[in-house]
Structure 1
Amino acid sequence: MPESLPRGDFLRLAVALLRPRFSRLLAATALGVLSLGSALALTAVSAWLITRAWQMPPILDLTVAVVAVRALGISRGVLGYCQRLAAHDTALRSAGNVRVDLYRRLASAPTEVVMRLPSGELVARAGASVDELSDVLVRAVLPIAVAAVLSVAAVGLLAVISPAAAGVLAVCLLIAGVAAPALTARAVGAAEAVAAEHHSRRDVAAMLALEHGPELRVGGRLDGVLAEAHRRQCDWGEATDRAAAPAATAAAAPTAATGVSVLAAVVAALSLAGAVAPTTLAVLMLVPLAAFEATGALPAAAVALNRARIAARRLHDLVDPHDAPRRRPPVPPLDVRPGDRVAVTGPSGSGKTTLLLATADRCRETGLAAGFFGEDGHLFATTVRDNLLVSRGDATDDELRSALARAGLTDWLDRLPAGLSTVLVGGGAAVSAGQRRRLLLARALVSTFPVVLLDEPTEHLDAADAQRLLAELLTPGALFPADRAVLVATHHLTPDIDCLRLDLASGRVISDA
């Protein structure tokens, strides 16, 4: 799947996702043009005023120019502030549009679509990607529009005085406003591609050292793994430096273009010295300096545009995933009946979780409520009670204690300083991996769903406890009432557990009680 989009597709996607109010966008653009236009006019009027004052005319001849200078100086700040208000209002409203649409589509999407991404990736797309896409209005669209209008105005003003100087200014503005941003965007894109290539390699070595440090030290390999992580980091830095080389040229280009345009204006002024008034020559030489103020924001605009294109692709794949790769269950979703006990087995990556999610969708289509309790269920940084009530808000404390007891957490609960009112500081970090699994199981036991889907509920438990819990989960009436259907995804199942078994390695039922 490409991480960026062709320009036409990107524009269509951005408009469809952001749904900006074009009247507000035009108002923000107009305010930006007026703000920087005030700066351009201020430069021209100031040049005229300085030159005319040098001729020492009657003071009344300068009054209008003095007032204009003050008015333009004040209006530039006021209009700039108003432009920022209008631009950020437009961007924030558009970001809100994207998030509302995103949440609505995810809420109504099939479970397989919602759950196909890790939670961290989902948060990143719904958070950072939305921000990067909405930023394109403030950081790219408005600066580009304002720079285009001001550049045309500056070239037109100089063309009235010296067509040659205006031509040089137009070429220099194209270099500063088009070529330099393009080089900057290319450098940033190359740097991000390099980071994506080397970052994962560095992290693989670093995580290997962090997770298996003692074993590696015993085996005499820890120093080698640390050296590999360091080497990957150095390779990343060197590759980033090479990829960023065009950015140096892009940074120097606007300064060089400004110098060339001013020099051309000076030469034009010298050639016209005997034919035009000194005040006109001053305007001719100073206007090019102000003209480049609008193009100064364009390299950053090009970077924002590139990042927004990537963000648009990621968001599109999230809300409209028809072209995105999906995992499909190796077998069709199960048709669940009341009282069913099914163990779904298979190696990691065989599709056990996907099958449970597809079964949850099938239940929803048939009007049967199903509760999916994933292996990565979240524990909140709140009380034990509240962490259980998320599955059924009206459960009593006695019911919560009973669920904890059936999940094997009686002794743990008794040791807590405030019992059910004890706050799990840090959420999942406050308990061990085994206790976390048991709490998630207790959450399922508190629920009243007629169909319960459990994903690896006995991971991180010792073998004896895991088999005992699996046997009770898959025995009608042991942990769940006999009239409720229970499906358990696991890759640890002994032959003596009597239930319907579905082996995803072969895609068929291998045992039927």
Structure 2
Amino acid sequence: MRQSDPLPAAMRLLRPRLPRVLAAIALGVLSLGSALALAGTSAWLITRAWQMPPVLDLSVAVVAVRTFAISRGVLHYCERLATHDTALRAAGSARAQIYQRLANGPAATAVRLHSGELVARVGSDVDELADVLVRAVVPIGVAAVLALAATATVAAISVPAGAVLALCLLIAGVVAPWLAGRAATTQEEIARQHHSERDVSAMTALEHAPELRVAGVLPDVIAESQRRQRDWTDALDAAARPAALAEAMPTAAIGVSVLGAVVAGIALAPMVAPTTLAVLMLLPLSAFEAMTPLPAAAVQLARSRISARRLLDLAPTDRTADASRPSAHSIEGRLTADMRSGYTAAHSHQVSLDLEPGSRLAVTGASGSGKTTLLMTLAGLLAPLRGRVLLDGTELSGFNDSELHSTVSFFAEDAHIFGTTVRDNLLVARGDCPDDELLAALDAVGLGAWFASLPDGLSTVLTGGAQAVSAGQRRRLLLARAVISRAKVVLLDEPTEHLDAMDGERVLRDLLAPDSRLMARHRTVLVATHHVPNDFRCPELRIG
């Protein structure tokens, strides 16, 4: 493998147990070895029976044929059990590590991807990576052992026939898989991209069906998902063509090896027994049985390599805290920026700001103007296109993630409401917050009456998550998280959306006022909103 091959690094995600892998290979060798022995024994038995010896001379061979025929199926079943057990355990290990790395790693890793893309990577990409054990590693190991055994057996009878068999096995087991893997790589990359785009379209339709239906574009989104599905299957078909061509090569190699055995047998006929000649003719047929999965194994290696690269991009090595980096206790919370924010240069904005601790700033603009992108960039969730963002004079990249996000917190308008208790939904912002502070926060954001109606108070389970509350209650519940957090810089994305005009204006005034009862005076507050009240004076940054 090349030095840049991502598979070795990704195998650390799978953590396959070597004894289990070796046991699966051993069972595979015994299974196909039984087939090889069955072919040789059957050839000997048929030829010896033609000579009409006493029946007792054939009894051992008859029992051996039955034994090899039965053991082949039993051992193959055991090999499947061992291989799939190894692969499923490895896939579970990989998913657990990816979830852990996403939870503890840089938030920007997950933020930059659509939920459909995340599902594709954690789902199908992990399966493809684990399949490398079932469809590549074990078949390659079995084929290597049996190729050596078959070649040695045939060479013991006829060296020329053994040489022809070795050459044909090399073509069927190395050249054909190499061609299949190389031809499939490009098409597999394209197919995988279509697969991800299909998942993105499907997840968009599932997550935002009501809004899309109201806007009249839901059929278009569903049609886009179907088109991506067709593109995906077309790309997979294109990727399968060179693999199918490569899989035909072992068949040709079998024919050549049998012809070589026939030629060698004709030369040996005067010198060896007929039973030996029969074994020489039939052994090559069974020897190639272990080679037939290898083109598919090469294609699987190509697919798993692509999946490995995507998974390593999703779950990079965890960053560790550096003692030389600023401590959260010494951070005052002065946020400055001179940068261009956005996803592309064509849709970006130059932003310059300098916010002392306790500052208030309204970021205004129309929907889609880039307010959310700006807040995510200031929070360190997205990298600026150009320039830099500083916290107390240090670039955001100079802080480890736990320090940064405990100081600068972004509260998204579509943050998740979990299907658990009200208490747990609030504690995601601050795990050690006592109940009296939780109650005070709920009352401060206007959820006092709603809370009083709950049957079990803070222990009330919000069955269905966000579906258990109205849009306005959901927005206030998310705002309560921001209230109880200890972040010194609070970035709020549309906190008053879905509130009625009077309540929304009242909450907005409170958030942006220096003497806010929601946010302490020392906390810096940035609020992304469509507009601020006309009679309310506060610093404003217009986007778009």
| Common topology (TM > 0.5) | yes
Q: 1:96 to 1:448 in 2, by over 3 A?
A: same
Which 10-residue stretch deviates more, 477-486 or 277-286?
477-486
Say if 2:420 is the partner of 1:382: yes
SS at match of 1:381: coil
CA distance in 2, matches of 1:108, 1:209: 32
Equivalent residue, structure 2, for 1:190 = 187
Whole-Å separation in 2 of the counterparts to 1:472 and 1:416? 26
Distance in 2 separating the partners of 1:41 and 1:448: 72
**Aligned counterpart in structure 2 of residue 341 of structure 1, from 360, 364, 373:** 360
Kindly tell me: are residues 38 and 412 of structure 1, through their superposed partners in 2, closer, same or farther at Cα, counting changes over 3 Å? same
- Structural mapping, 1:308-327, within 5 Å: 308-320=304-316
Q: Counterpart in 2 of 1:356? A: 379
Give the match for residue 528 of structure 2: 490
Alignment partner, residue 276 of structure 1? 272
- 2:291 is aligned to 295
Question: In structure 2, what is the equivalent of residue 472 of structure 1?
Answer: 510
CA distance in 2, matches of 1:19, 1:363: 27
Cα 1:173–1:434 shift into 2, 3 Å: farther
Residue in 2 that maps onto 1:508: none
Q: In structure 1, what is the Cα distance between the partners aligned to 2:212 and 2:110?
A: 33
Report deviation, 1:485. Answer: 1.4
State the Cα distance separating 1:345 from its structure 2 match: 5.3
Letter in 1 for 2:291: T
Contact 1:384 1:422 in 2 (8 A): yes
Code of the aligned partner of 2:278: A
In structure 2, the partner of 1:125 is: 121
2:283 and 2:193 map into 1 onto residues whose CA distance is: 44
Residue 148 of structure 1: how far off its partner (Å): 2.0
- Shift in Å, 1:379: 1.6
TM-score by length of 2: 0.71
Report the CA distance between 1:294 and its aligned residue.
Answer: 1.2
Distance in structure 2 (CA, Å) of the matches to 1:446 and 1:140: 52
- Residue 510 (structure 1) aligns with: none
Query: In the alignment, residue 143 of structure 2 is paired with which amino acid?
Result: A
Structure 2 distance, partners of 1:93, 1:19, is: 9
- The answer to whether structure 1 residue 154 and structure 2 residue 150 are counterparts is yes
- 1:471 is displaced (CA, Å) by 1.8
Match for residue 492 of structure 2? 454
Distance 1:242 1:24 in 2: 35
The CA deviation at 1:472 is 1.7
Q: Normalising by structure 1, report the TM-score.
A: 0.74
Distance 2:89 2:239 in 1: 36
Letter in 1 for 2:445: A
SS in 2 for 1:292: helix
Q: What amino acid maps onto 2:51 in structure 1?
A: Q
Query: Judging changes above 3 Å, is the alpha-carbon distance between structure 1 residues 146 and 479 closer, same or farther for their aligned structure 2 residues?
Result: farther
Kept after mapping to 2: 8 A contact 1:452/1:484: no
SS at match of 2:292: helix
- Specify the code of the residue in structure 2 equivalent to 1:407: V
Say whether residues 1:54 and 2:50 are aligned partners: yes
Give yes or no for contact 2:375–2:410 (8 Å, CA) kept in 1. Answer: no
Asked if the contact 1:209/1:225 (under 8 Å) is kept, the reply is no
Alignment gaps of 5+ in structure 1: 506-513
Do the aligned partners of 1:403 and 1:446 also contact (CA within 8 Å) in 2?
yes
Task: Specify whether residues 385 and 227 from structure 1 end up closer, same or farther in structure 2 by C-alpha distance, changes over 3 A only.
Answer: closer
Higher mean displacement: 193-202 or 494-503: 193-202
Residue 509 of structure 1 corresponds to which residue in structure 2?
Answer: none
Q: 1:473 deviation in Å?
A: 1.8
The question of whether the paired residues in 2 share the 8 Å contact of 1:364 and 1:370 is answered with no
TM-fit CA distance, 1:318: 3.1
The code of the aligned residue for 2:496 comes to T
Deviation for aligned residue 1:147 = 0.9
Tell me the SS of whatever aligns to 1:134. helix
2:245 corresponds in structure 1 to 249
> Percent identical across equivalent pairs?
57
The structure-2 alpha-carbon separation of the partners of 1:126 and 1:238, relative to structure 1 and needing over 3 Å to count, comes to closer
Instruction: Structure 2: state its 5+ residue gaps.
Output: 319-340, 344-348, 382-390
Query: CA separation in 2, counterparts of 1:184 and 1:143?
Result: 15
**CA spacing shift, 1:401–1:105, aligned 2, 3 Å:** closer
Question: Does the CA-based 8 Å contact 2:157-2:280 persist in structure 1?
Answer: yes
3-state DSSP of counterpart to 1:454: strand
State which drifts further: 125-134 or 259-268: 259-268
> How far did residue 55 of structure 1 move?
2.8
Q: 1:453 to 1:336 in 2, by over 3 A?
A: farther
* 1:41 matches 2:26: no
Q: Secondary structure at the match of 2:416?
A: coil
Contact 1:336–1:363 (Cα < 8 Å) also in 2: no
Q: For 1:487, what is the secondary structure of its paired residue? A: strand
Segment of structure 1 superposing worse, 195-204 or 88-97: 195-204
Alpha-carbon separation, structure 2, partners of 1:334 and 1:133: 47
Q: 1:373 aligns with which of 402, 411, 416?
A: 411
Between the two proteins, the alignment pairs up a number of residues equal to 493
Could you tell me how far 1:386 is from its partner in structure 2? 4.0
CA RMSD, aligned part only? 4.8
